[in-house]
């Protein structure tokens, strides 16, 4: 006799109908709109519209959305290059690509191809909406593996589970700044593939398409999805060895590499590793830590790093896990043990990722505990994924989906009304718990001006923008002083620039560029058509030593020190201050005293 859990793993036997899928999609859209809106019109006008850029440039969401908008603005205006993800206008010698500007190559590449026909200033509002919809639909698909859903009440129960999986801070927090990481539908899709059997060629093709798409979204998500694929491949290879498995083992990683190449991942050869692995680790109690997102249960102490609070499962999610544990403890026919044994590679992959998330220094109640001291090379390698707490997401989603399947299966279709009441109540509790924090997004986005004013308002900038074709920020740095002001000025006037903020940057190229530009300033050999923003006193002194005072203007404009080579006797407005040694009285924040 076939065990009931076996039936739930066949994807075609538990596929929800189109109406239920549409209802789930509307639920997912409602979660995103409620976070930013609160009405659909406000969401469209302030976030979703392709011309609404103010929410990204205003500042409350941090510098990351500015980075995305700038990277996309240069990329869509530039010619096609090889590989297609190269974006040299944003970074110059620092070898910028769209991969390291985090602009979601999955969308950026096709939109650039359409740029001669349509103008899209920003697509991140549409991306977030699509992520919410996909999250809910996949949550529905996962819950439907319980076998429930053939009656009206069963469908309501599935929609309640979908809402619970969508209302997760793991995804919602990423809408605050790390927008590409809102694409956690990639992880849910991978879990759905792991939870189901699949037949014939469809399974490897599905994995190949998913891995390729994820490689064009974000590196963290790619590692998670790649680990889940590896677990599913190993299970299938052991259960049914075949030549096709060998081909899949070569093709799927090859597709990942192809996607990374398209996006420009291989354009830099250094700068991947960084110190800090362990600083952004998973709090052992993070799933019940309501400090950032919850409003119904008390917070617990944590170490307070930049990712703290994002792994909270919500009160509804916590209750679901407890009900699931109780169900497993009381009933022996849930099929959980059989499923775990059958999918032991998946279990190992999930354990490995949560161990990496916790790092060698897990924290409990705000106290870090050092378990061991890894060698330097290992810390450097792990530093490429230093925000390690994110690797708790696959296990978090697997536990929520697994608990939903177990509980729904235990209740059964005959008592679908009970299941509907339970999961609607859990979704309502989840919403009540998270809503105050979700509404915080309104102040970050909707209440900001739809079109953000320029950071450098003096009209003289327009005159300079028409006279120069390039702007350098000296000394070169990733996210250095005035980077955003200089970069936004450059894109407004069609200039190229090395004033950047990138996810990864080659430190050797930064050092080389610093040395060359410093020598140029000291000797007075200025690059043709180049305007210089001087960010520290050493650069200011070099520029003063090397310039011809009759030819090269040194100016203070909107709090930026600017060297305009070859300006000569052309007019400078009376409100613009000409600078000369000893450079006393510069406003605070104009330059730094050391190299930055």
pLDDT in tens, 105-161: 999 999 999 999 999 999 999 999 999 999 999 999 999 999 998 899 999 999 999
Question: Per residue, what are the HEC states of 96-154?
Answer: CECCCCCCCHHHHHHHHHHCCCCCCCCCHHHHHHHHHHHHHHHHHHHHHHHCCCCCHHH
For residues 180 and 329, membership in a common domain is answered with yes
Question: Which of residues 409, 444, 479 is at a domain's end?
Answer: 444
Query: Model confidence at 556, in pLDDT bands (50, 70, 90)?
Result: very high
Per-residue pLDDT at 292 exceeds 50: yes
Question: Which of residues 412, 444, 476 is at a domain's end?
Answer: 444
Count other C-beta atoms under 10 Å from residue 556's C-beta: 17
Per-residue pLDDT at 279 exceeds 50: yes
pLDDT at residue 593, rounded to an integer: 75
pLDDT at residue 569, rounded to an integer: 87
**In contact, 29 and 132? CB cutoff 8 Å:** yes
* Distance of alpha carbon 584 from alpha carbon 10, whole angstroms: 75
257: burial class by Cβ within 10 Å (0-12, 13-18, 19+)? middle
Per-residue pLDDT at 400 exceeds 80: yes
In 333-471, alpha helices (H): 336-342, 344-358, 376-382, 393-411, 416-438, 440-444, 460-467
Q: Is residue 96 part of a domain?
A: no
Closest to 191 (Cα-Cα) out of 47, 368, 405, 36:
405
Q: Can you tell me whether residue 532 is helix, strand or coil?
A: strand
Using the structure block, give the residue that is written with the tokens 């809503």. 435
**In contact, 368 and 375? CB cutoff 8 Å:** no
Closest to 451 (Cα-Cα) out of 106, 34, 53:
53
* Distance of alpha carbon 323 from alpha carbon 404, whole angstroms: 9
Using the structure block, give the residue that is written with the tokens 């729904």. 408
For residues 66 and 158, membership in a common domain is answered with yes
Q: Is residue 355 part of a domain?
A: yes
Q: Could you tell me what percent of the chain has a pLDDT over 70?
A: 96
Average pLDDT over residues 264-283: 84
Give strand pairing partners of 283: 363
Q: Can you tell me whether residue 534 is helix, strand or coil?
A: strand
Per-residue pLDDT at 169 exceeds 60: yes
Least confident of 25-29, 381-385, 441-445, 551-555: 441-445
Per-residue pLDDT at 304 exceeds 70: yes
User: Quick one: CA dihedral 494, 500, 503, 508, positive or negative?
Assistant: positive
* Distance of alpha carbon 93 from alpha carbon 76, whole angstroms: 19
Closest to 560 (Cα-Cα) out of 466, 454, 478, 469:
454
pLDDT at residue 83, rounded to an integer: 95
Per-residue pLDDT at 215 exceeds 90: yes
pLDDT at residue 452, rounded to an integer: 81
Query: Model confidence at 12, in pLDDT bands (50, 70, 90)?
Result: very low
Q: Is residue 113 part of a domain?
A: no
What's the pTM? 0.93
pLDDT at residue 198, rounded to an integer: 77
Query: Model confidence at 241, in pLDDT bands (50, 70, 90)?
Result: confident
For residues 283 and 352, membership in a common domain is answered with yes
For residues 412 and 508, membership in a common domain is answered with no
For residues 436 and 290, membership in a common domain is answered with yes
Closest to 151 (Cα-Cα) out of 142, 161, 159:
159
Q: Is residue 264 part of a domain?
A: yes
For residues 527 and 433, membership in a common domain is answered with no
Q: Is residue 431 part of a domain?
A: yes
Measure the CA dihedral 328/334/340/346, to 10°. -100
Per-residue pLDDT at 4 exceeds 50: no
Q: Could you tell me what percent of the chain has a pLDDT over 90?
A: 77
Nearest 5 degrees, angle CA 210-CA 213-CA 218? 115
Question: What CA–CA distances, in Å, run from 21 to 25, 133, 456, 458, 476?
Answer: 6, 10, 48, 53, 50
User: Quick one: CA dihedral 259, 218, 317, 136, positive or negative?
Assistant: negative
Phi-psi region of 127 (alpha: psi -120 to 50; beta: other; left: phi over 0): alpha
- Chain centroid to Cα 387, Å, comes to 11
Q: Is residue 388 part of a domain?
A: yes
Q: Can you tell me whether residue 476 is helix, strand or coil?
A: coil
For residues 434 and 510, membership in a common domain is answered with no
How big is the chain, counted in residues?
Answer: 596
* Distance of alpha carbon 495 from alpha carbon 524, whole angstroms: 22
Quote the tokens at residue 40: 């659909």
Average pLDDT over residues 216-242: 96
pLDDT at residue 2, rounded to an integer: 39
For residues 472 and 389, membership in a common domain is answered with no
What is the Cα gyration radius of the chain?
A: 27
For residues 380 and 309, membership in a common domain is answered with yes
Question: Per residue, what are the HEC states of 132-144?
Answer: HHHHHHHHHHHHH
Q: Is residue 590 part of a domain?
A: no
Contacts of 27 (CB under 8 A, 6+ apart): 136, 159, 162, 163, 166
Least confident of 378-387, 397-406, 553-562: 378-387
Query: Model confidence at 1, in pLDDT bands (50, 70, 90)?
Result: very low
Q: What does the buried/exposed string (b/e) look like for 582-596 if buried means 16 or more CB atoms within 10 Å of the residue's CB?
A: ebeeeeeebbeeeee
Say what angle helices 483-492 and 64-77 make with each other, to 10 degrees: 30
Q: Is residue 336 part of a domain?
A: yes
For residues 248 and 288, membership in a common domain is answered with yes
**In contact, 472 and 517? CB cutoff 8 Å:** yes
Using the structure block, give the residue that is written with the tokens 């050391």. 594
**Could you list the residue range(s) of the whole structural domain that residue 481 is in?**
460-578
For residues 281 and 390, membership in a common domain is answered with yes
For residues 393 and 489, membership in a common domain is answered with no
Instruction: State the total domains in the chain.
Output: 2
């Amino acid at each position: 006799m076939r065990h009931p859990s076996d039936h739930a793993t066949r994807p075609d036997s538990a596929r929800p109908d189109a109406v239920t899928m549409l209802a789930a999609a509307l639920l997912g859209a409602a979660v995103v709109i409620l976070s930013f809106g609160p009405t659909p019109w406000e969401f469209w006008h302030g976030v979703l519209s392709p011309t609404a850029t103010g929410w990204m440039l205003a500042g409350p969401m941090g510098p990351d959305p500015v980075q995305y908008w700038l990277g996309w603005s240069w990329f869509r205006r530039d010619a096609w290059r090889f590989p297609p993800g190269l974006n040299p206008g944003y970074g110059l010698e620092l070898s910028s690509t769209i991969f390291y500007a985090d602009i979601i190559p999955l969308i950026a590449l096709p939109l650039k191809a359409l740029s001669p026909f349509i103008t899209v200033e920003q697509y991140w509002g549409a991306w977030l909406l699509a992520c919410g919809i996909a999250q809910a639909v996949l949550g529905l698909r996962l819950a439907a593996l319980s076998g429930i859903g053939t009656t009206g009440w069963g469908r309501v129960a599935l929609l309640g589970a979908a809402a619970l999986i969508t209302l997760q801070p793991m995804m919602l927090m990423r809408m605050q700044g790390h927008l590409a990481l809102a694409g956690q539908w990639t992880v849910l899709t991978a879990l759905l593939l792991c939870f189901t059997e699949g037949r014939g060629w469809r399974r490897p093709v599905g994995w190949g398409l998913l891995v390729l798409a994820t490689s064009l979204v974000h590196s963290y998500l790619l590692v998670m999805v790649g680990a889940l694929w590896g677990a599913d491949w190993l299970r299938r290879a052991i259960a049914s060895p075949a030549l096709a498995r060998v081909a899949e083992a070569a093709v799927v990683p090859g597709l990942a590499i192809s996607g990374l190449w398209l996006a420009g991942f291989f354009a830099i050869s250094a700068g991947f590793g960084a110190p800090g692995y362990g600083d952004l680790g998973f709090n052992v109690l993070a799933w019940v830590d309501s400090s950032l997102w919850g409003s119904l249960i008390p917070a617990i102490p944590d170490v307070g790093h930049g990712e703290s609070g994002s792994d909270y499962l919500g009160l509804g999610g916590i209750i679901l896990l407890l009900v699931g544990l109780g169900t497993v403890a009381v009933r022996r026919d849930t099929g959980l043990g059989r499923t775990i044994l059958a999918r032991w590679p998946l279990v190992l992959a999930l354990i490995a990722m949560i161990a990496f998330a916790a790092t060698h220094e897990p924290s409990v109640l705000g106290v870090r505990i050092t378990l061991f001291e890894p060698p330097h090379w290992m810390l450097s390698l792990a530093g490429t994924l230093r925000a390690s707490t994110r690797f708790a997401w696959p296990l978090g989603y697997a536990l929520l989906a697994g608990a939903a399947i177990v509980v729904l299966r235990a209740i059964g279709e005959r008592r679908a009304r009970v299941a509907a009441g339970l999961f609607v109540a859990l979704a309502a509790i989840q919403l009540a718990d998270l809503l105050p924090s979700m509404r915080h997004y309104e102040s970050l986005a909707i209440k900001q001006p739809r079109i953000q004013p320029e950071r450098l308002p003096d009209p003289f900038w327009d005159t300079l923008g028409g006279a120069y074709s390039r702007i350098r920020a000296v000394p070169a740095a990733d996210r250095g002083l005035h980077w955003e002001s200089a970069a936004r000025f450059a894109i407004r006037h069609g200039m190229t620039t090395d004033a950047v903020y990138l996810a990864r940057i080659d430190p050797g190229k930064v050092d080389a560029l610093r040395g060359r530009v410093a020598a140029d300033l000291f000797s007075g050999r200025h690059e043709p058509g180049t305007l210089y923003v001087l960010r520290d006193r050493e650069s200011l002194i070099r520029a003063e030593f090397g310039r011809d005072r009759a030819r090269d203007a040194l100016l203070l404009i909107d709090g930026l020190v600017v060297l305009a080579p070859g300006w000569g006797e052309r007019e400078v407005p009376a409100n613009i201050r000409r600078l000369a040694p000893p450079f006393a009285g510069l406003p605070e924040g104009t330059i730094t005293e050391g190299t930055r």
